[in-house]
Every structure is written in structure tokens, then in C-alpha cells.
Amino acid sequence: MGKLESADHSIGVKCSIVISLESQVYQPGETLVGQITLRIHETFDAKELVVAINGEEQLTWETSQFEAPNLQHKRTRILLQDQQVFATLQRYDPGDYVFPFEFTLPEDLPTSFDYWKQSLGQLVCVQASVNYSIKVSLPVLGALKSDLTSSQWVRVVAPSRVEPQSLYVRGKREVVFLGVFGTGYCTLTASLATNLLREKEEASIHCTIENDSKKRVKLVRTELIQLVELLPSEDDTNNFLPQSTSRTVNRTEFSDVDAGQTKSVVLQPATVDTKRIATLLPSFSSEFVRVSYQLVVKCKYSMSGGTWVSFPITLVHHEA
């Protein structure tokens, strides 16, 4: 049995519950295997021991009111509820009591997920999550004795259903100095080796820049852009409007291209968040939230607009 454990004690009863799980991470469709250990130091009577597994998606947010406290809102969806009952009414004498358990996870469970943002559109204090847990309860008989309970979080990581494929795009734009004087055209051709990437993995983009203008391409830049969308449900009674926010999580700059020249380069930007210490969220879609990514390649000129192309990519959880 693995070392992922959780232990809790009860007031008035010299006993503890230890939850041990065989693995730290599970995929949908797998069988979660674990065991409950009751460590009894003093005799007591109790009812049945119940082991439950729960999964829930939740979205909470607040809306501001003029000169009044913020209104709090919540949407909840039950993803998983199951339980097993062990050891009916009995007396427990000092010693260890072990109860193995198994739960087969449904095939369609979403990945464990946690997102928080101070403000998103018209909403504030936005938190979205998908959480799974094992909970153990043992009702203890007798006055001044509280029931025994313990819980342990479970991580679920769903594999991506996106088939990896290479992508090809081409963009052409006139280079206009100060928005007035045309100086020629810039053509950008790019191919992405695969649209399926893991966090911290480097993308591989083969680019050809045809700078048929009188100005030098100052730099070639890649930008990894994250889009987070909050979605209304079909039966929403709160008149919840879709909200979204995007941010550039990674910006990498590469070499220049002289006027009238053509250059072929291989760009290898990493899928990391250079703005924050936390790891990037994987691409994710549920009833309440959608997270997606675009990998953009831009040709930048001084005081002139340049051409750009964009690839939709799927970012896979590093544990998938």
C-alpha cells in the first residue's frame, strides 16, 4: 500500500483513522484501491464504518453592489457519489483493525482542477474547482464522545481525447510605416510539429519569413496565450452571462530579418508560465469552465505593424 495517508483523531475516544491509498493519481475508469486502519487505544462501542468517495465541480463568485456587501453566488455539480459499509454495530477493543476498499471510477470524470482570479469581467473573487475525496465516518456510541471521521483528497487526471497532429498556417500583411507609408509585404509561413504538448515541454515551429519590405524585421516573437471562459449551463436560472479573460503567459523573442531577405528558423518556445511561479493549468472543458491555449508567432517591426499566425494547442497535464 502506498504512503499517501491521512489520519484524524476523535474527542473523548483514544482512537485514530488512517486512510492509505495505493496511488497518488488515478485516471477515469481505473480502480481506486486503499485501506482504512483503525488504531484503537481504548475500548468503545460504535455503529457501522462507512467509506465514501465524492466528486464535485463548483464555481463560486461575487457581484458588487453600490454601497452594499458583495452578493455571493455558487453553482455546484455532483460528479461522483458512492460508498461502502463495513463492520456493523460492534465493540472495538485495543488494537489495529484494517478494512480494504475499492472504488471503480467512472470513465467520464473530468481532471482535478483549481482556478482562482480576483476579477473576471463583471465578477470578483472567482473560484472554479473539480475535487475528489475519500471520507471515512464511524459513529461512536456514548455520551461526550464525538464520532470518528477522516478524509483524504484524491487526484484524478483524465487523458487528452485530442489526437496529436501537425499544423500549418500562412499569413501575409503589408508593412505600413506610421500607418501611412507602405513599404512592402511580409509573409510568414509556419508549421507546428504537434498541437499536443505537456507543461514545460518545448514546441517546435518551423518558420519561413519572407521580408519583402524596405524595413527590417526587428524580432520574431512567440506568445503563449491562455483563455479562461466561464460558461452558463442550459438550466441556469441566475441569468449568468458568459465571462472570459485572456493573458499572455509566455513571451519569447528570437532573431531579426533584414529588409528584402528571407530567413528560415526553428522556434522552440517552452510551455511554461513566466509570469507566475505556479504551474500552467492544462487545457480543460467542463460544464462551468473552459481553458484553452493559442501559440502565436509574430513578426515585429519598429513603428509598423507586422504579420502574425496562430496555432490552437492542447496542453496536457504533466501527470497524464
Q: Which residues, including other chains, have CB under 8 Å from residue 217's CB and lie 6 or more apart?
A: 186, 209, 211, 256, 257, 258, 299, 300, 301, 306
Q: Residue-wise pLDDT tens for the chain (320 aa)?
A: 554 555 555 545 678 899 999 998 999 999 999 999 999 988 888 899 999 999 999 999 888 777 677 888 889 999 999 999 987 888 889 999 999 999 999 999 999 999 998 888 778 899 999 999 999 999 888 765 778 889 999 999 998 888 899 999 999 998 877 767 777 889 999 999 999 999 889 999 999 999 998 888 998 999 999 999 998 876 655 556 678 889 999 999 888 899 999 999 999 998 888 877 677 889 999 889 999 999 999 998 887 778 999 999 999 987 76
Domains delineated in the chain? 4-156 (2.60.40.640), 167-316 (2.60.40.640)
The amino acid sitting at 315 is L
* Residue 161 pLDDT: 82
Own/partner pairs for 167-170, CB < 8 Å, 24+ apart? Answer: 167/191, 167/192, 167/195, 167/311, 167/312, 168/192, 169/309, 169/310, 169/311, 170/309
* Residue 112 contacts residue 130 (beta carbons within 8 Å): yes
* Residue 135 pLDDT: 96
**Residue appearing with cell numbers 492509505:** 20
- Give the pTM: 0.84
* Residue 235 pLDDT: 62
Q: How far apart are CA 210 and CA 189, in angstroms?
A: 8
Q: How far apart are CA 106 and CA 131, in angstroms?
A: 14
Q: How far apart are CA 299 and CA 223, in angstroms?
A: 11
Q: How far apart are CA 302 and CA 83, in angstroms?
A: 64
Q: How far apart are CA 296 and CA 309, in angstroms?
A: 6
* CA quadruple 268, 271, 273, 278: dihedral sign: negative
* Residue 84 contacts residue 51 (beta carbons within 8 Å): yes
HSE-CB for 175 with a 13 A CA cutoff: 25
Widest distance between CA atoms in the chain: 90
CB atoms near residue 305 (< 10 Å): 16
The residues pairing with 60 across neighbouring beta strands, listed in sequence order, are 74, 127
